[in-house]
Amino acid sequence: VQQNVSNFPHNTSKQPTLETASGIDTTEQETRKDSTLLNVPKVPMKQILSGISYTDQKHLHRTCKVVQPFVDENVTVYETIGLHLIVDDVKRCFKNARANGETETSEAKKRKLESEEHYSYIDEAVELLQNLINKPDLKVKNVYITHDMSNEGPTEDQRKYFYRRIQKVFQEMKTKLNAERVTLYVDSPDFLFSILTKLQEGTLTYLTFNQYPKSIPIFDMKDIVVLPQWSELIRFYSDAKLRARVADFKHISHVKASFEAVTLDEIKDLRNHVFNDQNFEWFTLYADFNKEEVEDAMQPFTVQQNASSLPHNTSQQPTLETGSGIDTTEHETKKDPTLLDVPELPMKKILSGISYTDQKHLRRTCKVVQPFLDENVIVYETIGLHLTVNGVERCSKEARANGETEAPEAKKIKLESDQIYSSINEAVEFLQNLINKPDLKVKKVYITHDLSNEGPTEDQRKYFYRRIQEILQGMKTKLNTEHVFLNVESPDFLLSILTKLQEGTLTNLTFIQYGTLMPVFDMQDIVFLPQWSGLKYIHTDATLRARVTDFKHIPYVIVGLEDITINEIKDLRNHIFNSQSFRMLLLSADINREEVKDAMQPFTLVQSGKSIEGRFLQADNKTLYLSFCDKGISIYS
């Protein structure tokens, strides 16, 4: 449910109305405070809530206090409902959910089937199930109908009678069951079909079923895969051998299934789907097929043989492809040219535009270019100079095998030195010779000095940074680096560094301001650089003169601002709700807590000591956490 500006007003001083996290803009509704969801009559409210699932209602209950009392009083919520047939009786599990979403005990989270009561008569247990699932306001997370499959399990007559009674209960249901996860033992597609058709559309996400006995060697899915309940599945598991097309499972993120037959064209289509689908996570498929044909069909995967595999030709490797939009079906028979046939000069040109990390990944996944990279491209893990009172500590740590660090110690965050120069000129000349190579790629570059009381003198520091600036300004090529860590005194020095970095490669920027020359660090010339637009992380202790909008494209931000307006805070709030890439914002600035409290609706806010904290559940089930006081705001996902 989403409220727009044409609907009745709502009270933002309490809690927001039901909103989706995508497209929220409450700026125009700030002054509308006449009514809330509590004014909606009971019958329409129950109708509104009837269409959402157990998990959605749990999240709604946690984040929207307006509907909490109504949900607690009018909706029945269960963590688990199930019957498990054994040799002499039926184990039942009817586990209520506490506070409409919180499990009653920690033991309820165990995966094993738990029972709270036994019934010696099948009819008595099934009648109890019938009375429970026929409630129109019922919501359930897990439903299972199973039996003991061991040698000490129920007799065949008991089993048949049990499932016949279950099937009749579902067929006679007056309403559809709102359940998210279903685990079943089934003997035929007809039984599975009769259960699924009685589940509410749009709520079922997990389906697991085991086939017993194997009276039907092939489980025909033709009538099941066209059900609306099938279209919303996120996870599917079955031990039955299915008669179905692979395309029927492409919308499901997690699949583990066996197939009667799979064609090579279906495998190629599955490969293309996997490359292009953002929701894909896992697919396990059991079927009889020719491994050599599948190996060719699954290019451009880097294929590796394990003990159970047949031999294959590792000399042939895939060409360079992007993960988005790959369709190599038309190229299956074209295996004559490779990247090795590209001349050296064009190849170096091709590789010059990719970053350290991209090249490392390329080397790991495409063996065709590995020898070329090892021979023609220089890759460093870290390059840096650190000025102390006694000289300059240098760190020029090469990356072994074009991406692998030379030693495990190289992964430490602290600045490490492999040589000390007593002369600043000598150290700077070394840096000049190193960074002027056109084929150089670096993960991290730092230019810093000792900030303690025992650090270098002011004259040493000024000369050191002037020489660094001269070196960078005289560079013939732009430096290809991802992370930059700097000590800076003024925006001019930072600008001179950033303009000498290759566009599109810099992702992480950290700088510390030293000296008291400029209490406010003006960013007006820096935020328009193309190097700024590719940032994913920025951290500084300086107080910046900039607009909040200049940082909206950066997922991780830790900065201080000279000033921030309430309209900027509202704009920031709307951006965070709608952004898929946002991760963290820690913003230091003088703010008015009461104004920010109103501006940050629809966060659920509570007082916590001297600060105010809140959270907001997005449509993708990710939670945003908010905390602010008089000195700043922090928001993270």
> pLDDT (tens digit, 9 = 90+) per residue, 576-592?
888 878 889 999 998 88
pLDDT tens, position by position, 72-84: 776 777 888 888 8
Half-sphere exposure of 592 (CA within 13 A, CB side): 7
Model confidence at 25, in pLDDT bands (50, 70, 90)?
A: very low
Q: What is the dihedral of CA 122, 126, 128, 134, to 10 degrees?
A: -170
Residue 20 confidence (pLDDT): 38
| The pLDDT of residue 550 | 92
Q: Specify the DSSP class assigned to residue 520.
A: S
The DSSP annotation for 156-224 comes to: HHHHHHHHHHHHHHHHT-SS-BEEEEEEEEESSHHHHHHHHTTBPTTT--EEEEEE-STTSSSEE-TTT
Instruction: Give the pLDDT confidence of 49-94 residue by residue, as tens digits.
Output: 766 777 777 777 766 767 777 777 767 778 888 888 888 788 888 8
Token pair listed for 224: 């099941």
Closest Cα to residue 461, out of 469, 227, 135, 140? 469
Give residue 305's pLDDT.
63
Q: What is the pTM of this model?
A: 0.52
CA–CA distance from 90 to each of 123, 154, 161, 178, 555 (Å)? 10, 10, 12, 23, 53
pLDDT at 322: 34
**Distance between CA atoms of 329 and 275, rounded to whole angstroms?**
13
Question: In whole angstroms, what is the distance from residue 496 CA to residue 473 CA?
Answer: 7
Per-residue pLDDT band for 256 (boundaries 50, 70, 90) equals very high
* Cα separations in angstroms, 326 against 275, 278, 297, 330, 513: 7, 13, 13, 11, 46
pLDDT band (50, 70, 90) for residue 97: low
- pLDDT > 90 fraction of the chain, expressed in percent and rounded: 21
Q: Which of 416 and 262 is assigned the larger pLDDT? A: 262
Q: Are the C-beta atoms of residues 544 and 560 closer than 8 Å to each other?
A: yes
Count other C-beta atoms under 10 Å from residue 301's C-beta: 13
Tokens, residue 253: 């993120």
Residue 556, classed as helix, strand or coil, is strand
**256/611 Cα distance (integer angstroms):** 48
Domain ranges for the chain? 75-242, 354-546
- Judge whether residue 625 has pLDDT over 70: yes
Q: What would the mean pLDDT of 165-185 be, rounded to a whole number?
A: 89
Question: Which band of pLDDT confidence, cut at 50, 70 and 90, is reported for residue 476?
Answer: confident
Q: Tell me the C-alpha distance between 433 and 445, whole Å.
A: 15
Helix (H) or strand (E) holding 34: none
- pLDDT tens digits for 195-244? 999 998 888 899 999 988 777 889 999 999 999 999 889 999 999 999 99
Poorest-confidence range of 95-99, 174-178, 406-410, 516-520?
406-410
pLDDT confidence tier of residue 100, bands split at 50, 70 and 90: very low
Percent of the chain with pLDDT over 70: 77
What value does the CA radius of gyration of the chain take, rounded to a whole number of Å? Answer: 32
Dist. CA 529–CA 540, nearest whole Å: 18
**Per-residue pLDDT tens over the stretch 352-377:** 667 777 777 777 667 667 777 777 67
Nearest-angstrom CA–CA distance, 636 and 602: 15
pLDDT at 406: 42
| pLDDT value of residue 319 | 33
Q: What is the pLDDT of residue 114?
A: 45
Main-chain dihedrals φ then ψ at residue 56, nearest 5 degrees: -60, -40
Spell out the long-range contacts of 452-457 with Cβ–Cβ below 8 A and sequence spacing 24 or more: 454/389, 455/387, 455/388, 455/389, 456/387, 456/388, 456/389, 457/389
Closest CA to 542 of 564, 524, 515: 515
Q: Which token pair is 564?
A: 């921030």
538 has pLDDT over 90: yes
Question: Predicted confidence band at 36 (pLDDT cuts at 50, 70, 90)?
Answer: low
What is the DSSP secondary structure assignment for residue 320, as one 8-state letter? Answer: P
Arithmetic mean of pLDDT, 259-287:
86
Structure-block tokens of residue 573: 């709030």
Average predicted confidence (pLDDT) for the chain: 78
